[in-house]
């Protein structure tokens, strides 16, 4: 069964969108209904967002999903 994972296309673009919007990680987290630690880990490339968080981030940054994120299908049965 294929599992879909959301990835950030480019960390620099992600951070640029946050800065351009004039937001701190804390404020972005509040608007995206998340927590600052999650946003920090995303910006460092240490975590991938859930689909719901990715959509909430796009709403908070007033941008399209494909501006920041992409979805990759991973067939976990072939990883064993």
Domains along the sequence of the chain with CATH: 2-78 (1.10.260.40)
pTM of the predicted protein model: 0.87
pLDDT tier at 1 (50, 70, 90 boundaries)? Answer: very low
How do residues 16-70 score in pLDDT, each as one tens digit?
Answer: 999 999 999 999 999 999 999 999 999 999 999 999 999 999 999 999 999 999 9
- For 56, other C-beta atoms within 10 Å of its C-beta total 18
Note the pLDDT of residue 76.
61
What phi and psi, each to the nearest 5 degrees, are found at residue 6?
Answer: -90, 135
């Amino acid at each position: 069964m294929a599992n879909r994972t959301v990835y950030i296309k480019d960390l620099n673009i992600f951070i640029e969108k946050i800065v351009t919007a004039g937001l701190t990680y804390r404020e972005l987290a509040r608007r995206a209904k998340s927590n600052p630690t999650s946003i920090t880990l995303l910006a460092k490339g240490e975590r991938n967002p859930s689909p719901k968080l990715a959509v909430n981030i796009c709403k908070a940054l007033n941008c399209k999903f494909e501006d920041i994120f992409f979805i990759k299908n991973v067939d976990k049965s072939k990883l064993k």
